[in-house]
Amino acid sequence: MRIIDLIREKRPALSFEFFPPKDDIGFWDLYRTIESLKAVEPTYVSVTYGAGGGTRRKTLDLVARIKSDIGIESMAHLTCVDATRTELGETVDDLKARGIMNILALRGDPPQGQETFRATEGGFSYASDLASFIRERHGDICLGGACYPEGHPETPDLSKDLDNLKRKVDAGVDFLITQLFFDNDDFLKFRDRARGVGIDLPILAGIMPIVSVKQVKRFTQMCGAKIPAGLLRRIEAVEDDAEAVRHLGIYHSTQQCQHLLEQGVAGIHFYTLNRSTATRAIYQLIKVGL
C-alpha cells in the first residue's frame, strides 16, 4: 500500500528507519528486531541505501522481506550516489516487481573521501531529478522526500533551501520527512515557512533519541542540526554514564513527540540507528495518548 494513502487514512503516522547490516548475521538479527515491531503496528518501516553498492542489495532484500514476510508496509531509500539513470531505473523496476510501492528519493551524501557531491556521469545531481525520473517511469509509486528544518548544511540560506524543496515537491514527491532535530520550534517554524510557499504535503518529524553524546555530536555536525544548549549541558553532565544518557535521551524525545502530536504533526519518523529499544519505548509511551 502507498504510504501517502496510509497517512491520509489515519494520522499521525508512526514509523521506524533502519540501515542494512553488512553481513548475514547482522541482517537476520535486524530482521528479527523488525519482526518484533509488528506487535506495535507501525505505519511503515524504511531501510536506508548504502553508497558505493556495499549494502544496496541488502536494502532491496530487507525491504521486500519486511513487506512480504513480516507484513509491515516498507519503504526503500534510493540515492543518486554512484549510479547512472539506467542503474537507478533498473533498481526502481526491481523494487516494484517485488511489490514495493514506496521510495524515499534522495540525492545522498558525498561518498567517503569526497567533500562535495559530484554526480556520476549519466546520473543525477539532485533529489528533485531523481523524483521526477521515478515519477515518469512509474506514476503510481509513492515518493517521499527529505527536508531540513534548520536548512540543508550545503544551503544555509533558508529561503533558497525552501526554493529547492519546492522543486522537489513539484517533481512529484507525495510526503516529506525532516532531518533529525531537537528543538520543536525549529520544526514548527519550518512547517509554517513551507506552507507559506505553497508546500502543503504531509511533513513527518524526524526524531532520534540520544543514546551517545559523541555519536549525537557527530551526527548533528554532519547534518547541520543543533543541540539546544540546555539539553547539551544535561547530557554532557552524565556523558560517562551510558544509562543516564539513554534515559535523558528517551525523556527528551518523548517530550518532543508529545508536543508535536499536540501541534497536529502529520507523523513521527524515528531514526533508530538499528537500536529499536529506545525508539520502541518512546513509541509505546506516546501511543498510549493517541
| Active-site residue list | 17
How many residues appear in the chain? 290
Rounded Cα–Cα distance for residues 114 and 52 (Å): 12
Cell numbers standing for residue 290: 493517541
- CA distance linking residue 13 with residue 109, whole number of Å: 26
Q: How far apart are CA 109 and CA 117, in angstroms?
A: 7
What's the CA gap between 167 and 11, in Å, rounded? 26
CB 67 within 8 A of CB 103: no
Q: Give Cβ neighbours of residue 73 (< 8 Å, ≥ 6 apart).
A: 1, 3, 6, 43, 44, 45, 67, 102
Residue 50's CB: how many other CB atoms inside 10 A? 18
Query: Of 223, 202, 289, nearest to 254 (Cα)?
Result: 289
How many Cα neighbours within 13 Å face the side chain of 154? 10
The rounded radius of gyration (Å) of the Cα atoms in the chain is 18
Instruction: Give the integer Cα–Cα distance in Å for 4 and 201.
Output: 9
CA nearest neighbour of 182 among 147, 144, 241, 224: 224
